[in-house]
Structure 1
Amino acid sequence: MTKQFAYYFLRHLLRFAGASKGYTLAYCTHGGCDMPDAVSSNIAPMEGHGFYNRNSSMQAAGNASALALWEKAAQSVDLGDETLVIADYGSSQGSNSMEPVSTAIRVLRERAGTERMVEVIHTDLPSNDFASLFTTLNEDPASYLRGTSGIFPSAIGRTYFELLMPPGRVHLGWNSWTIQWMSQNPIDAPDQVFGMQSKIPEVRAAVIEQQARDWRLFLELRSQELRPSGRLLSLFPGSLPERIGWEWLTGELWGTFCDMRSDGVFSDHEILRINVPTAPRRLVDIHAPFSEGGRFAGLEIEQAEILEGPDVHWGDFERSGDAAQLARGWTGMMRAFSGPTIVNSIDPARDRVELVDEIFNRFSDRLAANPQRHDHFIAMVLLRKIGA
């Protein structure tokens, strides 16, 4: 019996025997852990108490590459006498929203008048750390509220996989580093924490299918909220046809879990449940809904491209040779976005906080022992709402 045949045999056997209730088997080889899938969904917002704000320099650097296109969008949208509305879809704790929103306000007011009222609506999951968002708005020197008036911020604590605002309300929509999150986990990857990095074709296919549904739904909903000629800029992890990226960080995190399984810290079933449902998109995936006539749900793509993402820590490492510092930088970033979902994936009867501390301490040690450049890609998409 080949290992692949054994995997599928066990998976379907366990489904029949009650895998949906959480009873699973698994085995690890020196190539990794191979397990059947009993799909779990434990998606959580970013690490709270301002942790994400302090550990999202990679995301901030990626945002900087989109600001020129964002300014072009603000120059292009039609304006009347109405209050101007900017939506920040997936704001997290706000630090990386300050510059894009400030840019939009500046450009819109240059066109509409410096006294024009502007409403800024931040959205994220209901469990998001909105306290840090409003602290950032009130205290950060880079806050878009500094030195101005007539700006009205608010927040909506709901998923953007549902309608968030009345139709035709939004002039400009900013969406960065969020749409890589799937609305649900389509399948538990038995050989990776991130399904797209799995070597099992069925797992990768399930991820692509889920992302396709999510992308179409996201576009349909945002189209309803945009005004005619409104623009939506979405920035998220991308991939090339021949290269996904993120291999070093995701590989070391998976190695951490296999080490902990070997040391008896986690059982086979616990490892199976630990999945972070995020994945990059290719240009073909981005364009797929627009394949007929170049339009979808009242939207058209003005620009879409995949860029090489910056490694914000590698330059310091080349100068200092400090592998521990490099590891701390990337560990903070990985924990900031994946830590809460991993916490939710662990049996609540266990000491989740202690276990997640151990996971990322071990992960940091692995990175320091094997320092590499973080290769990743950024997808940047500007969409226009077709006028009435």
Structure 2
Amino acid sequence: MIIENSWMEMSSARTYREELIKEESSRMWIGTDPSESKQEQAKNPFLTQDSVEISAAAEDAKKKEFRFELNQEDKYKISLLKSLLEVLTGKRIKFYLPVDMDAKIQDKVNCLSKNAPQQNIIQRAGWGFEYDYYQSHFESEQTSFSASAVVKTADGREINISLNLNMSRSFSSHTELHIRAGDAQLADPLVINFDGPAAALTERSFEFDLDNDGEMDIMSFLNPGSGFLALDLNGDGIINDGRELFGPRNGDGFAQLTEYDEDGNGWIDENDAVFDRLRIWTKDSTGNDVLFGLGQKGIGAICLTNISTSFALKNSNNELNGQVISSGMFLRENGTAGTIQQIDLRI
């Protein structure tokens, strides 16, 4: 081919976007978690009264001090946290742990310990640490190329050319890290989303002994359309504590539910004796407990296979109330599917 003459026009366009979001927060306390103390006092006037009396009685002992010391296990945990934070932030981290504390605090702790029920109590560490880290990186690029041409060859041909090329790519990554130590706890029940795609937490909180330590915990409840999967062990029509939920006992709700898969088919269905005893625990608009059988919500089988789906559940102040850990599915009698999730609730 011999080109005799030609006319052409070319154009290109490119768009590029990059977004990096990084959020990091840490909190540490000695004694009672400050974020919970106000809520607890509002819900328990006796606790408020005791605190006032203790403070008054401790006025004569202001000069008394005691030593606050971490045990070897706690020191090891703090050392690990320090090393991890230094790797993540690239900065030197130093924890300040006060060893001398006012006698009022000790008197208060002693008094509350005496008044607390002693049976099945899990000893609190007397300190807490929370660390939350989130980073997302998003990158996208689009480039377009177009060409128009008229080419005449030596043999008399005229060739019209129209050429378009589009190139695009995108990349996204997410990194999350949540560390809880001491008295900063999360407990993880299974949640059935019978009328919604995913679990979400309300702004309202209520008292419930989720970790079965004999003390009431303050926790957020689920939005309408979701409920905790429960097993009413004593048949009293009430979900009394975390023992009647799946997860708080061993930290793995799906594994606990698997114990009831009698035929080993990987599903909890009508062939398993527990199926008819399972309940969905919800609350109505006034906060009253409501229990539904699986059949009442059209659920025919719950799959025991699940996969990690980490997702933070935060309130309007961007404070962590819970964490989605993993997700699975259930089947309805009409053939449609829904989701079941393991949720770590902050207590």
> Per the shorter chain, which TM-score range?
under 0.3
Higher strand share: 2
Higher helix share: 1
Structure showing greater Rg:
2
Q: Structure 1-normalised TM-score?
A: 0.18
Tell me which of the two structures has the higher relative contact order, counting C-alpha pairs closer than 8 angstroms and 6 or more residues apart. 1
Q: Structure 2-normalised TM-score?
A: 0.20
